[in-house]
């Protein structure tokens, strides 16, 4: 068989979206959400799998919803190839290509860089180096 990476390469094909008007009204909240999400992604990227799974199980059980946690044991990664999950133009190219193929939009009508921003992601905006952990500090080699 094959993995999604075998088909598309190291592509993040999922993104969280805020409308421009929401960002304009709530820039601090958006910044907090984005940096928190980036740090959480980085935590899963730098933390041993067993510890990540244990944390997921703890959170799910603490919700008190009688949820089954067996599925969490299958977790392998956040599925995000870059440290902290900054978005790349290539991440949107696959969707633009499909929109053109399906006749939803014309070729060249949308440029990927017009669809996203990494302004608030600390791993993309220079606040944290890409090799930093979720706290922004360098990851020790031990």
Q: Is 96 a domain residue?
A: no
Give me the number of domains the chain comprises.
1
Q: Is 113 a domain residue?
A: no
CA-CA distance, 52 to 74, in Å (whole number)?
Answer: 11
Q: Is 111 a domain residue?
A: no
Mean pLDDT of 115-125: 92
Name the DSSP class of 22: H
**Alpha carbon distances (Å) from 10 to 13, 30, 65, 138:** 9, 26, 35, 23
Which range marks the domain in which residue 73 is found?
A: 16-86
Q: Is 79 a domain residue?
A: yes
Q: Is 43 a domain residue?
A: yes
CA-CA distance, 22 to 33, in Å (whole number)?
Answer: 13
Q: Is 107 a domain residue?
A: no
Q: pLDDT category, 30, cuts 50, 70, 90?
A: very high
Other beta carbons less than 10 A from residue 35's beta carbon? 19
Q: Is 53 a domain residue?
A: yes
Q: Is 67 a domain residue?
A: yes
- How confident is the prediction for the chain on average, in pLDDT? 88
Question: How far is residue 27 CA from its own chain's centroid?
Answer: 19
């Amino acid at each position: 068989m094959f993995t999604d990476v075998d088909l598309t390469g190291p592509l993040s094909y999922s993104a969280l979206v805020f409308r421009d008007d929401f960002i304009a009204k709530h820039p601090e909240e958006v910044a907090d959400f984005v940096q928190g999400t980036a740090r959480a992604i980085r935590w899963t990227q730098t933390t041993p799998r067993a510890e990540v799974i244990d944390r997921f199980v703890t959170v799910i059980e603490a919700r008190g919803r009688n949820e089954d946690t067996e599925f969490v044991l299958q977790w392998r990664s956040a599925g995000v190839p870059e440290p902290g999950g900054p978005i790349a133009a290539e991440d949107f190219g696959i969707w633009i290509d499909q929109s053109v193929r399906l006749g939803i939009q014309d070729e060249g009508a949308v440029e990927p860089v017009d669809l996203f921003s990494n302004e608030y992601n600390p791993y993309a905006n220079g606040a944290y180096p890409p090799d930093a952990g979720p706290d922004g500090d360098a990851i020790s080699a031990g």
